[in-house]
Amino acid sequence: MMAQKLNSDNDVNESTQSTTGRVAFGRRGNKASSVVIQRNPCKEKINIGTWNVRTMLRPGKLANVIREMKRTELDILGLSEVRWKEGGDFMSEGIRVIHTEGKGGQSGVAILLEEKVAKCVTRIENYKDRLLMVGIKAYPVDIMIVQVYMPTTACEEEEVDNLYEII
């Protein structure tokens, strides 16, 4: 009785036959299908956030931002007003940091990527100190992350227009 119950539970065709060893087959009969499952770290859900940090020049600020990124389980974090003098791309505590240079110690943007997402980066483009674009290979479509720090009203209107043109 127990064996009969197990068989009917496992019968995908919902038949009530009690024959042991019966398996339901698809269109290919009793041949196994050739499905290959590839592990792609960028097929998972990606959590994205932004933060205007005001400055990253204080000692320990990057470690604090990374700690908050991990605590909130973000995979990608865009930063504005980084104010680093030189642009670059480096790893820190398992996080990839891609950033533009800050013009005169002002502005500057960065994108922080968790390790599994950092492996999927296909393209990096920056436009001066206010715009950074990172391409990520993902499923079902690739993702373009754009981090922008728009000029304030204190800036010339021409600078604002130029940035809109680039975008």
pLDDT the model gives residue 19: 46
Closest CA to 91 of 69, 114, 68: 114
pLDDT the model gives residue 161: 87
Judged by phi (left if over 0) then psi (alpha if -120 to 50, else beta), residue 7 lies in: alpha
Domain ranges of the chain: 1-35, 43-166
Fold of 43-166: Deoxyribonuclease I; Chain A (3.60.10)
Angle at 150 between CA 144 and CA 152, to 5 degrees: 170
pTM metric for this prediction: 0.72
pLDDT the model gives residue 51: 95
Q: How far apart are CA 13 and CA 120, in angstroms?
A: 41
DSSP 45-62: ---EEEEE-S-S-STTHH
Please state, in angstroms and as integers, the Cα–Cα distance from residue 118 to each residue in 95, 99, 164, following that order: 8, 14, 28
pLDDT the model gives residue 26: 46
> In a structure prediction context, what are the per-residue pLDDT tens digits for the chain, which is 167 residues long?
444 444 444 444 444 444 444 444 445 454 444 444 345 556 678 899 999 999 999 999 999 999 999 999 999 999 999 999 899 999 999 999 999 988 777 889 999 999 999 999 999 999 888 999 999 998 889 999 999 998 877 788 888 888 888 88
Give the up-direction half-sphere exposure of residue 167: CA atoms within 13 A in the CB hemisphere. 14
